[in-house]
Amino acid sequence: MPERTRTLVMTGATSGIGTHAFARLAARTGTRAIIGARPSSTRPDLDGVEVLPLDLSSLSAVREFAAAVPGRLDGEPIDMLVLNAGAHFRNTSARSADGFELAFAVNHLAHYLLARLLLPAVAQGGRIVLTTSDTHDPRIFRSAPTRIDVRGWAQAPGSAASAYAASKLGNLLTAEGIAALPETAERQITSIAFNPGLTGGTGLSRAFPGPLRQVMNALRPVFILLSRLRPQLYMNTPEHAGDVLAQLADGTLTPPAGRVYASLVRGQLAFPDPSALAQDPAAREQLWRESADLTGLPPA
């Protein structure tokens, strides 16, 4: 009997880390791939890839995308749901279509909604990977959150750095929240939050002034040297980070039982403890509840 086609649904496949992860995942024969991307995005140059419009800055666009996916898969379940898109802005003045701070809306609220809407379509034994960041952790990043304040983050009185860090904590707690659902265990779904670590040469550095961007990339060896003192300064390549993301998505790499956080530490995949807040079930439940409220979903 022929093997069933393997299905992939992905955001953030059009640039940086995601381009490399997507190329590796979609290249395997028998993979059916759907990506959600903005009309302005660079389309992957691969046969058979379906691109559906998705602007994560609008919750109604997320709902339309989620509603379109099952039909495009002809009822096949999703084997790999990779929620990798992300943005870092220069300040917190921009708002989403729904009036929320843009980084928090795009990175966290949109992906929380998308994960919940598509979860029923994820296959038995399927995998969900959300790309987070070690900037969620106050031990590593000064602007990281120390308490849950979803409504406050959505209005963002703080800095661009704190808005980004809060959104990445949102990704991590969403992955933890999915892992804690009874249906996830029943259907043997693996939920992972992946931190690629500092990765040079991606579109994320568009937020930084041009000269700083160029200097950062040219100084990669210096960052690697400095990482002996501070491991978070190790600068990965998009190729390596994308490769590891793909391996976590297709099951080549798997976290130990009970672990959700997968992190590149000095370029090596590890499964360290995330921040204290990210280990707190009460924080996870609060984020889940308040995100449901803001995205118009029931809490459970």
Ligand X SMILES: NC(=O)c1ccc[n+]([C@@H]2O[C@H](COP(=O)([O-])OP(=O)(O)OC[C@H]3O[C@@H](n4cnc5c(N)ncnc54)[C@H](OP(=O)(O)O)[C@@H]3O)[C@@H](O)[C@H]2O)c1
Catalytic residue positions, numbered? 164
Whether residue 262 contacts residue 193, with contact meaning beta carbons closer than 8 Å, is answered with yes
How far apart are CB 262 and ligand X at their closest, in Å? Answer: 12
Candidates 12-20, 144-152, 207-215, 276-284: pick the segment binding ligand X (CB under 6 A).
12-20
Binding residue for ligand X, selected from 14, 184, 232, 291, defined by CB under 6 A:
14
Is residue 44 within the footprint of ligand X (CB under 6 A)?
A: no
Nearest to 8, CA basis, from 16, 17, 18: 18
- H or E element at residue 70: helix 59-72
Strand partners, 131: 194
Place of tokens 């808005």: 163
CA distances in angstroms from 242 to 179, 204, 279, 286, listed in the order given: 23, 14, 26, 31
Site for ligand X in 118-157 (CB under 6 A): 131, 133
> Could you give the angle at the alpha carbon of 139 between the alpha carbons of 232 and 213, nearest 5°?
40
Place of tokens 């979903």: 297
Site for ligand X in 177-196 (CB under 6 A): 196
Interior/surface letters 182-209, b for 16+ CB within 10 angstroms, e for the rest: eebeebebbbbbbbbbbbbbbbbbebee
Binding residue for ligand X, selected from 6, 7, 9, 12, defined by CB under 6 A:
12
How far apart are CB 105 and ligand X at their closest, in Å? Answer: 9
Is residue 202 within the footprint of ligand X (CB under 6 A)?
A: yes
Is residue 86 within the footprint of ligand X (CB under 6 A)?
A: yes
Is residue 203 within the footprint of ligand X (CB under 6 A)?
A: yes
How far apart are CB 280 and ligand X at their closest, in Å? Answer: 22
Query: Considering beta carbons, is residue 84 or 174 the nearer one to ligand X?
Result: 84
Is residue 198 within the footprint of ligand X (CB under 6 A)?
A: yes
Binding residue for ligand X, selected from 106, 166, 175, 178, defined by CB under 6 A:
106
Tell me whether strands 268-270 and 261-265 are parallel, antiparallel or unpaired: antiparallel
How far apart are CB 183 and ligand X at their closest, in Å? Answer: 25
Binding site for ligand X (CB under 6 A): 11-12, 14-18, 37-38, 40-42, 54-57, 84-87, 106, 131, 133, 196, 198-199, 202-204
